[in-house]
Amino acid sequence: MPPVTICVLTYGDFFGLASRCIGSILDHCDRRSYDLIIGANQVGELTREYLDRLVLRGEIDRLYASQTNINKCPMMRNMFASVETEFLWWFDDDSYIVDGNALDLRLQVGRSATKQTVVWGHQFFFGHEADFSSGMDAVAFVLSATWYRGKSPPSWLPGGKGEFNFEERGVGDGRWFFITGGCWFARTAAMHALNWPDPRIVKRCDDVFLSEAVRQQGWAIQDIGPAGVVINAHPRRGNEL
């Protein structure tokens, strides 16, 4: 069994994005080191023909296709269910590899990290839940999650993330740190333990809530920057559910 399963989500009539992303994996990664799973959400004819050719050539190990757009996280759940490798490497189709060492670097980082570190990628943060939640109550979402383990979610109200006088301001810590969802690397066992993605998530905030779910378990994320990958190289598409 190879050490990593690479998962790529393709969507719609964007053959250029799909072929660039998948082509970069085929060009830059040692085929002996990975299985490749592709999710195809309502893809155009050119993309489907391209994916079918790769399946016939043995370049794709498993293809999950839907004629309708079932959206990101439902397709992700289908893709993750069969993953058994030690690590999982996720790509949205607008991210792509530019460095032949990108996979080796992630394997080295993952194997040398403590078992408590379970997700790696390019870290960002939102200073307030209103910056990403589009009106939903992010704190309530965390508190009602099956992966909630009693840690206070980020909030500027006193007690947020266990802080009552953050930076001596008499407030909690309202910063939501997360690994951006366009490309991330993780321990597969952690994703299965979380039953990720949360079935309640369709698309919006999946990366923010993944990082919070990791924090709730007492695990950690690690910022490794882009690390040989161009991430989120196209504007958002589809609905924002």
Neighbour order of strands in the sheet with 87-92: 62-66, 34-41, 4-11, 87-92, 176-187, 117-126, 220-223
How many residues does this entry show for the chain?
A: 241
Query: Cα 79 to chain center, whole Å?
Result: 12
156-186: per-residue pLDDT in tens? Answer: 999 999 999 999 999 999 999 999 999 999 9
Cα separation, 146 vs 36, whole angstroms: 29
* All residues at 6 or more sequence positions from 100 whose CB lies less than 8 Å from its CB, including other chains: 28, 228
Q: Where are the alpha helices (DSSP H) in 57-178?
A: 72-80, 102-112, 138-143
Give the chain's end-to-end CA distance (angstroms, integer): 36
Q: Which amino acid is at 153?
A: P
- Angle, vertex CA 191, rays to CA 17 and CA 235, nearest 5: 25
The pLDDT of residue 240 is above 70: no
The pLDDT of residue 15 is above 90: yes
Cα separation, 189 vs 173, whole angstroms: 29
The pLDDT of residue 38 is above 70: yes
Of the candidates 184, 209, 203, 202, the one whose C-alpha atom is nearest the C-alpha of residue 87 is 184
The pLDDT of residue 241 is above 60: no
Q: Is 10 left (phi over 0), alpha (psi -120 to 50) or beta?
A: beta
Location of structure tokens 């609905």: 239
10-19, 188-197, 230-239: segment of lowest average pLDDT: 230-239
pLDDT at 194: 98
CB atoms within 10 A of CB 69: 17
Cα separation, 2 vs 140, whole angstroms: 39
Cα separation, 115 vs 43, whole angstroms: 37
Query: CATH fold of 4-230, please?
Result: Spore Coat Polysaccharide Biosynthesis Protein SpsA; Chain A (3.90.550)
- This prediction's pTM: 0.95
Average pLDDT, the chain: 96
Q: Per-domain residue ranges for the chain?
A: 4-230
The pLDDT of residue 190 is above 70: yes
